[in-house]
Amino acid sequence: MVLTDDYIKATVEAAFRPLRCVVKLDYDVTLSFRVFDANNKGVLRCGNLPLDDLRDEERLKSNLLEFRERLKQRGFRLEPLTLSHR
């Protein structure tokens, strides 16, 4: 099943809890996001991911796990990854 823009956005926003994640969809073609720590300092930025590359749930999950690992390596503790319910 092809994932919708809203599903992808909600999943990415939730993927870095307890940190705050702000997602921007650019013309329904690319996705950018930024993750902020408890002090509202930007700790991770990703831009221009093609949405078509994220429309498959396994590919979306794989991408998110990679970005989460970057934060974990820097000492951030994240809640377990759960994909949004459709």
In a domain, 80, yes or no: no
Domain count, the chain: 1
Domain containing residue 54: 5-73
In a domain, 55, yes or no: yes
Residue 10 lies in a domain: yes
| DSSP one-letter string for 43-72 | EEEEEEEEGGGGSSHHHHHHHHHHHHHHHH
pLDDT tens digits for range 5-47: 999 999 999 999 999 999 999 988 999 999 999 999 999 999 9
Q: What do you get for the CA distance between the two ends of the chain, in Å?
A: 11
**pLDDT tens digits for range 59-78:** 999 999 999 999 999 999 99
Which DSSP symbol is given to 41?
-
| Number of neighbouring beta carbons within 10 Å of residue 31 | 22
d(CA 70, CA 23): 18
